[in-house]
Structure 1
């Protein structure tokens, strides 16, 4: 697909629709939440996959960003006439492109790694062995407390799991709730503390990307 431009973002906001999505045919489209046919209708946020009346799509931007000013200076978001600032539109487009490019690099790296024969893996324990809750989703809900319903928990769990994987040493991975590593004698490295890796990830920064409504 071609890079997203500031003009694409501006056109989306001018269209006054709920979501800017990328279709399976790599085309940009505007949809409203009522067009989403799966359970994500009310909770869909940026980079979630959804099913619309026209098929599968990926959310790139939500109209709520303009109203909630998530991650942007609200004093610079709109022009005096109420239109989206071109500078902010360009910044939004840049962030989308950066996210998708990084995701593509990660996918390519995983595919390349999958082609390399690996030794049998060692189970290093589950998420619940290093946290107070059994799953990533349960930990996210507990961390957010009463505000959990204001967030897309599935999106948070996906990005939190990826951030933990990025922070783990080579050969150690988190898949679902299971941590695995290479067989002895390559594993275990004495310095690895998985609970410290988890706590070292900025959970709140991840959660902020998946807020779907204000408290």
Structure 2
């Protein structure tokens, strides 16, 4: 069985059936089970991201339940008038499940493994990231809680006063030449400063893009058409990425849906189009987008924010 990321099609196919649970098996298969097919560790009805034992004793990870989808707890108005899950919302749900459920469990598995088992577990994380080794590396190499992301050591690799690797025996001349230590230290500082600046700019640009995307949905991509939007709801995945739920508020505070007045196809396209950009708002630029947002009450253990679109639109692009 080839390990792969979960897709919106996996979720719509599950929801179109009559099973209670969509689960991930240890060997990477997506299965449809009923509540009677599993034994949760808690002894209660299983919930998303909970491990449970199947009838054959194998462990499975519950990804989502039919009850959660039907209640529209994660993504309001994600079902059409006939109760079918809209594909664009299924795609967003797949991204959330991957970020919040599958990857954290597989990263923990890789962290606990050693030797060949660790190599296989790391390869599995990369596969679930769709082959994106950079994303997998960030997940596998996240700093410990309380450490600053991207800066895990407190000294340069050329610091001669501490952190040195000293050898008492071995070769008596260097295996390869290196630039002077001060040049390496300067390069470290300059590259990290450039990275930080680039991450902040991505945050500013994508916040403006989010405001523009809301306008485009409401005006049909006509920048001259008047529209009334003051804020938009975003939800945060486990990796810190943001996703649009489709809910927004007018300047007067009236709650509405971005898909109001659109047919199913146009509504799905609109939400899917926003989903191309909002995930760039994440932990790497949190200090940019977080001040634009009001934190809303959690729903089903998930964080939600209300982003001020007027403030977002006013951010500089440079």
**Normalising by structure 1, what TM-score?**
0.48
Structure number, greater radius of gyration: 2
**Normalising by structure 2, what TM-score?**
0.34
